[in-house]
A and B are shown apart, each in its own frame.
Chain A
Amino acid sequence: AQSVTQPDIHITVSEGASLELRCNYSYGATPYLFWYVQSPGQGLQLLLKYFSGDTLVQGIKGFEAEFKRSQSSFNLRKPSVHWSDAAEYFCAVGDVSGGGADGLTFGKGTHLIIQP
């Protein structure tokens, strides 16, 4: 069975500083990989996704993520955070065999706090 680990429950970063959120997955092959952000009162918003090809993926809001097969990781990065980035971030994997049509397995999330 596939699983996702987000080792950091909370992360505090100063505004303007760089950010890296960690995500490790367990899967038999290369899964579909996603990062979502959840703000209070809003639905999960897709930041970026990786299906195949270039292992460095660019997303919305200045985020990027790098797929590293050897480390089974898909860490999310942003060079300079803004106060509006404070939210809950979820890494998720999807089953390739389902062609993207299967439900996702989510990590437990990382709560990002931005210090002024």
Chain B
Amino acid sequence: GAVVSQHPSRVICKSGTSVKIECRSLDFQATTMFWYRQFPKKSLMLMATSNEGSKATYEQGVEKDKFLINHASLTLSTLTVTSAHPEDSSFYICSALGTDTQYFGPGTRLTVL
């Protein structure tokens, strides 16, 4: 149980375009989901907390207009990277909160050319 999926697993896009990443909890409902960013050889950095039916809470330094988060249902949260630039290239990981533990998706590798 407690499986979280992400789609796509890899995406390559041109600079200036937008990319949407989906995060789904497959076998449980998650009121709260989280989005993290992982740089090479670095730890995961929390970007934002997504609560179903309300606005996301962003960590300091994360541009909310660039990283749009929508959590429209108890099993789906989306992260849209708007007007992507090469510096947005990274590994994006979501997690869904179960009873008291976060379950992580496999991640999405974004490359912006």
Contacts and interface: CB of A to CB of B under 8 A. Distances in A.
Given A43-B4, A46-B101, A109-B43, A103 B49 contact: yes
A25 B43 CA distance: 14
B4 to A, nearest CB: 7
A67 interface: no
A23 to B, nearest CB: 12
Contacts of B6: 43
Contacts, number: 50
The size class of the interface chain A forms with chain B is 20 to 34
Interface of B: 4, 6, 32, 34, 36, 41-46, 49, 59, 93, 95, 97, 100-107
Interface of A: 4, 32, 34, 36, 41-46, 49, 51, 90, 99-109
8 contacts: A42-B106, A43-B6, A43-B93, A43-B104, A100-B100, A104-B46, A104-B102, A108-B41
